[in-house]
Amino acid sequence: MKKYKHILKDRQDAARQLIDIIPMQKLKDESWKMVAVSSGGLELAHLIRNKLSNEIDFLFSESIMAPNNSSCEVARVSEKEEIVMNESLIKAFDIGYDYIYGEAHRKHEEKILSYVYQYRKGRPFISVEDEIVILIDEGSETGLKLMTALKTILSMKPKAVYVGVGVLPADTLELLEPFADEIFFLHDIGDYVETRLYYEKLPNVDEEKLEKYLED
């Protein structure tokens, strides 16, 4: 684990390195849509895009926790009501699917819709049909957030979907590879702990910045 601690300085460092492996000329010429899957991913997307004119949006999603363990994420729902479940955890905790679907609906109505109105002022998510999309995030603990975003985007019939991420678990990389056209990443880590461990500085992105990024 020590060799991976603080392998990235901050989001700017991650952006600089991702720019070296993402085909930026194709991103520009083909007008790739950049879709962030977290607030940190949104800042990272803006740093990668820099002065280009590619459209950026945020795909909101919410975690669904185990009923008997509030720190264990067992599923996730996106703003398009696509759901991805961790089947092994659901079976281990003996959780019924009625609970998952009920929580997904509640999280969508109570939280996700409020985010859409607060940060996008009610504007619907961008159209990606027949478009090339790149999903952006700074890191991934369980892979559920990226997988939920990938499933959601694929349901909207894009031309291609790529993933750009700073750090991710090795098993998450294996999980995503069959569904993404290509994954651009800096480090895949076998004994992944949490994303903050791999950055020297990873400040929270406040509400004001989120609104500004989405207005831009």
One-letter amino acid at 203 equals P
Q: What is the pLDDT of residues 125-156, one digit of tens each?
A: 999 999 999 999 999 988 999 999 999 999 99
Give the mean pLDDT of the chain.
95
**Residue 193 Cα distances to 46, 82, 158, 177, 203, angstroms:** 26, 27, 32, 21, 18
- Dig out the tokens for 57 from the structure: 């949006």
In this structure, the number of other CB atoms found within 10 A of the CB of residue 171 comes to 14
| Predicted TM-score (pTM) of this structure | 0.94
CA dihedral (78, 201, 71, 38) in degrees, to 10, reads 0
- Dig out the tokens for 39 from the structure: 């607030």
Q: Judging by beta carbons within 10 Å of its beta carbon (0-12, 13-18, 19+), is residue 151 exposed, middle or buried?
A: middle
**pLDDT, mean of residues 10-15:** 98
